[in-house]
Amino acid sequence: MPTITIEVWSSLSHLFEFETRKRYSWDMEVDAGTTLAAVLEALARDNPRFDKTMYKPESKVPSGAVTVVINERLPELLDGYETEMSEGDRVTLVQAYAGG
């Protein structure tokens, strides 16, 4: 089974019920061929706050409030949310920012 790393920046850590707001990361084993969409579904299933606030399970993509990055690249530059996870991949969840 491939192992990937999930990283959540401090501004989102409360959605994963961590006690303090800081950057967290943990390893997650996935089946071969697991997609980014499936990883996000698992995170939503296991973390109700993330599910309700930041994730739209019906469309299988995050809401506009979160940016997902895979190995320092946006999913849109890969195969979108159908990107298959590989050993050592890093999925980073960052609060989306807008402004001008």
What domains are there in the chain, each with its CATH number? 3-95 (3.10.20.30)
Supply the pLDDT for residue 75: 93
22 confidence band (pLDDT: 50, 70, 90) = confident
User: Where residue 98 falls among pLDDT bands split at 50, 70, 90?
Assistant: low
The one-letter code for the residue type at 58 is E
Question: Could you tell me if 2 and 87 are in contact, meaning their C-beta atoms sit under 8 angstroms apart?
Answer: yes
Tokens 């849109």 label which residue? 76
pLDDT number for residue 13: 86
pTM, rounded to two decimals: 0.87
CA 46 remoteness from chain centre: 12
Tracing tokens 């979108």 back to the chain, one arrives at 80
Residue range 56-81: mean pLDDT, rounded: 85
pLDDT at 10 over 80: yes
